[in-house]
Structure 1
Amino acid sequence: MSIHPGLPKLVATDLDGTLVRSDDTVSAYTHEVLARVKAAGIPLVGATGRGPRLIDTCREFIPEADFLVLAQGARVVDLTDPSGPATLRGVTVDGAVILGLLEALEAIVGPLSVMVEAGDEPGAPLWGEAHPAWRYPDALERRARHEALAGPVIKAFAHSHRYDPDELVAIARTLIPADGVTVTQAGLGYIEICPPGVTKATGLAVVADSLGVDPRSV
């Protein structure tokens, strides 16, 4: 289906806090709008910090999506492939890099509660230490930090009872080069430590490139 010249070549939406409401639902009106976008032949992208372990949940939120940008951009998935979701981008970060950053960070801010996202299959558990601040109903497998970060991972989450996320992000960014990791907020008082150069914008650029779309047309 061709797209009318006056319409965008690609439409992207964030999920949490934009499409998905605070009660983890998406309104009927929103689904109607997304259905009209799809009917117009415009590719639709859902972008989220949620990792590939939550892809089924994301697809429930936005079943109209043609692509998903997951894990802040570390994983980009094409949902239009008849054989099943196809990975357009899948990057990880060396756990040793994150371990070094956490050690340097704890030397300044004190003990951190850490969870690691390494498994990319749907429903894969997080690894690490439970903390009351993490209220999501995720499966958690208790592992020592050095074990959880022994290989490549998708990202890690860290929480401090003394510093807020803005402060933690600011301090962390002074401790490691920008090409080492990307640090951002994760919600619930946590920060995320992701692969270098990973953002939702870079993930969206992967989708645009796969479609031959100028990012200015998004």
Structure 2
Amino acid sequence: MKLVASDLDGTLVRRDRNVSPRTIATFQRLHAAGVIVVLVTGRPIRWIAPVHSQLGIPALAICANGAATYDPATDTIVHSSPLEASVLAEACTRLRAEVPEVVFAVERDGGRQMRHEPGFPVGPWEADHDSVAPLPLADIVTRPAAKLLVRAGVQSPDEFTARVGACLTGLAEATNSSSSGMVEVSAAGVTKASALALVARSHSVTAADVVAFGDMPNDLPMLTWAGRGVAMANAHPAVRAAASDVTKHTNEDDGVAEYLERLYGL
């Protein structure tokens, strides 16, 4: 395998938001051996620096479920596939008609900025952050967005994602990566797999030479595209069912590192 692609939360990153010393050492050995490492996450760009700095290697980060491929070393977006403003506005119109109680937020500029309706719940770690601010919906839909975030109170994540996806058929992609009931919407055809394929092609690497790790439904396109798609032991049941392999351990117990050590003989 010439390229290792890994999701972050629930896969490479532990609950304490850190990467273990064993995992860091494993990825540094892979990099030293010439293996290409790509981080592939639903996270916005503004959440990448802590993980990237811990790993200590020059890895590209595919952010916002494939909408932005980002080079943390230069703070540069090297490829972007946002929801255009007209599509964003149409998606919000359709969803509000289907689910009147729905509230929206968007990740702009690959996730350097978040703008949200006043009623959209924002995590306490971001409530006072300069890059996060409330806006009326009329202003939210005036600019392209890497992702549209959709909430409607307490929802079953998979059922609500299916409902949102059905509403946006032919217009955009809907997925989820948490248990909170939030749905993440990207431009049509934009997934972790579509962005990873572009990165692999730029290195003359085919899907057959890619091993990818993930744990949630937003990882499914990537895991089914890669030559070896590996679900975490703690993965969503649909991810475990679709993967070609499953790690012996969870993200809390170095599941990715243990798998890679066996695969590469480290």
- Name the TM-score, length of structure 1 as normaliser: 0.83
- Other-structure match for 1:163: 155
1:108 paired with 2:101, answer no
Distance in 2, Cα, partners of 1:103 & 1:114:
11
**Once the two structures are superposed, what CA deviation does each residue of 1:56-102 show, in whole Å capped at 9, x if it has no partner?**
2342353324211111011113457xxx2443321111233233223
Matching residue within 201, 214, 230 for 1:209: 201
Distance in 1, Cα, partners of 2:193 & 2:34:
22
**Once the two structures are superposed, what CA deviation does each residue of 1:133-162 show, in whole Å capped at 9, x if it has no partner?**
x43622331100110111211111111125
- Would the aligned equivalents of 2:68 and 2:80 in 1 still touch at CA under 8 Å? yes
Which contiguous aligned blocks of 4+ residues in structure 1 show a shift greater than 4 angstroms? none
Matching residue within 84, 94, 97 for 1:94: 84
Structure 1 position 195, deviation (Å): 1.4
Q: What 5-or-longer segments of structure 2 have no aligned partner?
A: 211-266
Matching residue within 119, 128, 143 for 2:135: 143
Pair 1:69–1:145, CA change in 2 (3 A): same
Pair 1:216–1:32, CA change in 2 (3 A): same
Distance in 2, Cα, partners of 1:52 & 1:171:
28
Total equivalences in the alignment = 205
**Once the two structures are superposed, what CA deviation does each residue of 1:110-149 show, in whole Å capped at 9, x if it has no partner?**
3112111113474x343333544x4362233110011011
Amino-acid identity (%)? 28
**Counterparts of 1:5-20 in structure 2 under 5 Å?**
8-20=1-13
Q: What 5-or-longer segments of structure 1 have no aligned partner?
A: 1-7
- Other-structure match for 1:127: 116
Matching residue within 183, 192, 198 for 1:191: 183
- Other-structure match for 1:57: 50
- Name the TM-score, length of structure 2 as normaliser: 0.69
Cα RMSD over matched residues?
2.2
Q: Quick check: which one's helix share is greater?
A: 2
**Residue type at the aligned position of 2:15:** S
Matching residue within 14, 24, 39 for 1:21: 14
